[in-house]
Structure 1
Amino acid sequence: MSIVSRSLSDQAFEVIRERILSARIPALAPIRQEALAEDLGISKIPLREALTRLEQSGLLRSLPNRGFFVPALSATEAEEVFALRLKLEPDAAADACLEADEARREAARSALRALESVDTGDKAGLATRNRSFHLSLVQSARHQVTAQLVERLHLLADRYVHKHLEPEGRYRRADDEHQRLLDAWLDRDTDRVRTLLRAHLQLTLDDLRVQLAAAGD
């Protein structure tokens, strides 16, 4: 697969990210940069930039004399990431719904439509659009730092969201939860937004606990 046009680093980032989320790049195996650059049809400079961004996003790690590798899924990390999301995200979404203008309200509607349009077999695409929808609910002119922190947590959560969507039909339950959450957000019902989002995140974490325990992670 060769990459051409605009930012090679940006495109490499997206391609490698999809391979990580779909487990085409296995956990703990060192990434052979020369082979990967050749496969993508780019030089090592934009590849290195993409790998560095992926490390900053939490999808890769690096060690001296070992280079970059995909960290294994960790029940401990999942607990920490979702605990932080539970502390920040429900209040952030509740605050944001009160100040959202019509442009932001339409952006949230569009984000959910985009999520619902993804093919159910495209787990990486579902994880990406899921993140976009959730982030559309916390965008705020008054709480930009909080929104940035929530976005960082979502990047760390991406592989776990991908894992959560593995069981057949799970996306259907998530679709219903997302629609009810959006309806409450558009109604500016802050208490219901908090309640629904906390329940949604907690249920995802509960599912992940079972999945990661079964997988021995």
Structure 2
Amino acid sequence: MSLIIRNLSDQLVDLVRDRILSGGVSSEHAIRQDALAAELGVSKIPLREALARLEEEGLVRSQANRGFFVRSLSASEAQEVYELRIKLEPDATARAALLATEADHAHAIETLDTLDHVTDEHGDGVGAFNRAFHRALFRPCGQPVTITILERLQVLSERYVRVHLEPLGRDERANEEHHELLEAWLARDADKISVLVDAHIRKTLDDLRQQLVDD
């Protein structure tokens, strides 16, 4: 597999991030840079640069003389990430509901339709489309710094979404909540959407507290 030149570093970051978020890279062993570079058709230098950027995002960690490792999931990280989302996302989504254009509405509806389909088919990408749906709701808020922070938090959340949805019935509950969110957002009901987003994130965090136990 070789890469089309757009920005090699950006492409590598996207590709390796997607593998990590989908669970395709183990957190137990160092990332095999030689094998991964060969598979992607690049040298180790741009791959190391991409891994360094993913370390800044919080997805990998480096160890001297050992290389890069995917960071393990932890209850403490989940607590921090989701509490930060609770502080920022309800207000940003409420503001976005008031500012969203018809094009923003169409994008949010299409994204949720895709998420529903992927969930029903039990296919890959549920986490990615869950992230895309939440992003579609808060991006029209017109606050670039807040958007950047929330997008980083969404990336960190995605691995926990996979764990959260494992128990039977969780995906149906999540989808019902997503449709409630979309209905209030489309209606530009800022107060209601703020309350719903807060509750949605808190429920996920409560579930994760029971599923994850730090050593």
TM-fit CA distance, 1:188 = 0.8
Give yes or no for contact 1:3–1:11 (8 Å, CA) kept in 2: no
- What is the alpha-carbon distance in structure 1 between the residues aligned to residue 140 and residue 122 of structure 2? 33
Identity of aligned residues (%): 51
Give yes or no for contact 2:95–2:141 (8 Å, CA) kept in 1: no
Name the counterpart of 1:53: 53
Q: Deviations over 1:159-196 (max 9, x none)?
A: 11121122233211111100110000010111110111
Whether 1:126 and 2:103 are equivalent positions in the alignment is no
TM-fit CA distance, 1:72 = 1.1
Letter of the aligned partner of 2:191 in structure 1?
Answer: D
Name the counterpart of 1:5: 4
- Larger deviation: 170-179 or 6-15? 6-15
- What is the alpha-carbon distance in structure 2 between the residues aligned to residue 114 and residue 9 of structure 1? 29
TM-fit CA distance, 1:45 = 3.1
Q: Deviations over 1:118-154 (max 9, x none)?
A: 254335x111111111011111363221111111111
Name the counterpart of 2:64: 64
Name the SS for the 1:27 alignment partner. Answer: coil
Gaps (5+ residues) in structure 2? none
Name the counterpart of 1:83: 83
Name the counterpart of 1:161: 161
Name the SS for the 2:200 alignment partner. Answer: helix
- What is the alpha-carbon distance in structure 1 between the residues aligned to residue 194 and residue 38 of structure 2? 47
- What is the alpha-carbon distance in structure 2 between the residues aligned to residue 24 and residue 97 of structure 1? 35
List aligned pairs for 1:1-217, cutoff 5 A: 2-7=1-6, 8-119=8-119, 120-123=121-124, 125-140=125-140, 142-213=142-213
TM-fit CA distance, 1:57 = 2.5
Alignment CA distance shift 1:141-1:212 (3 Å): closer
TM-fit CA distance, 1:62 = 1.4
Q: TM-score when scaled to structure 1?
A: 0.88
- What is the alpha-carbon distance in structure 1 between the residues aligned to residue 105 and residue 144 of structure 2? 17
TM-fit CA distance, 1:6 = 4.1
Number of aligned residue pairs: 213
Name the SS for the 2:138 alignment partner. Answer: coil
Gaps (5+ residues) in structure 1? none
TM-fit CA distance, 1:11 = 4.5
- Larger deviation: 99-108 or 76-85? 99-108
Letter of the aligned partner of 1:55 in structure 2?
Answer: E
TM-fit CA distance, 1:68 = 1.0
Q: Deviations over 1:85-138 (max 9, x none)?
A: 001100110011011111112121122122122254335x11111111101111
Name the SS for the 1:72 alignment partner. Answer: coil
Q: TM-score when scaled to structure 2?
A: 0.89
Letter of the aligned partner of 1:77 in structure 2?
Answer: E
- What is the alpha-carbon distance in structure 2 between the residues aligned to residue 53 and residue 131 of structure 1? 20
